[in-house]
Amino acid sequence: LTKEYDAVFAGIGTLKPKTLGIPGEDLKGVEHVIPFLESINCHVRKTIGKRVAVVGAGFSAMDAVRVSRRLGSEAFIVYRRTVLEMPASSDEIEEAEAEGVKMMTLCAPVRVVGDEHGHVRALECQRMELGEKDDSGRAAPHPVPGSEFLIECDMVVQAISQAVDTEASEGVELDPKWKTFKVNDKFETSVKGLFACGDCVTGPMSIVNAVGDAHRASDAIDAFLQSEKKETPSQ
């Protein structure tokens, strides 16, 4: 596209799912949060589990657990830290609890347990304890040996964040740690004329952040096009 247009904007988000990486995550009833929410919003899904365990504590996790509760399910948040470390806003956490969502904190999934039909019947977790702060600035969770227990459920929703689809970013320099698009202060990537902002640059955040950056990026693109126009000699 950069060969066909003077400027290209990429706002592709972070739609590539991150999985738990534990045994049993391929069982029936284990889903990722993005297709789960899409199926509900598009009225494709008619039923969900009676007991839904949502792993994660960000905005998408709260969306999934609250919509599950509103559809009549017993719904749980499963999170390896405490409520204080949850990425979701305090207002959303309080509203979820008021709706009847159960917060199962300081526990991390280690295995999805299936029944004889290959369907989820439980989520095996391990108790955690917090230690020193890690790279995220939050206290790092550490497993407590011998503390495994089962959460009975018939659906597990993985909401532990998403990543940029790197197949769509060939030739673009990525942040070495987060694998997001690397941009300068004018939102331009390593490819001249290719601009980006939103989750594909910052990682998963709120729509407010993305919209704010998009306004600033549009100004930067306009300035870029004006400068290119001045540099192009008139015919």
For the domain that residue 90 is a member of, what is the CATH number? Answer: 3.50.50.60
pLDDT of residue 112: 98
In a domain, 128, yes or no: yes
* 67 shares its domain with 114: yes
pLDDT of residue 230: 65
* 100 shares its domain with 205: no
Query: 145: closest CA among 128, 130, 133, 123?
Result: 128
pLDDT of residue 3: 84
Tally of domains in the chain: 2
120, 154 in Cβ contact below 8 A? yes
**Which of 158, 193, 208 is the last residue before a domain boundary?**
158
User: Mind listing the pLDDT tens digit of every residue in the chain (235 residues)?
Assistant: 778 899 999 998 888 888 899 999 999 999 999 999 999 999 998 889 999 999 999 999 999 999 999 999 999 999 999 999 999 999 999 999 999 999 999 999 999 999 999 999 999 999 999 999 888 788 899 999 999 999 999 999 999 977 888 776 778 999 888 889 999 999 999 999 999 999 999 988 888 999 999 999 999 999 999 987 766 555 5
* 121 shares its domain with 187: no
* 30 shares its domain with 111: yes
* 199 shares its domain with 94: no
**Residue for token pair 């929410």:** 37
Question: 204-207 long-range contacts, Cβ below 8 Å, gap at least 24?
Answer: 204/14, 204/58, 204/59, 204/60, 204/161, 204/162, 206/59
pLDDT of residue 105: 98
pLDDT of residue 65: 98
* 177 shares its domain with 226: yes
**Predicted TM-score (pTM) of this structure:** 0.81
**Which of 102, 132, 158 is the last residue before a domain boundary?**
158
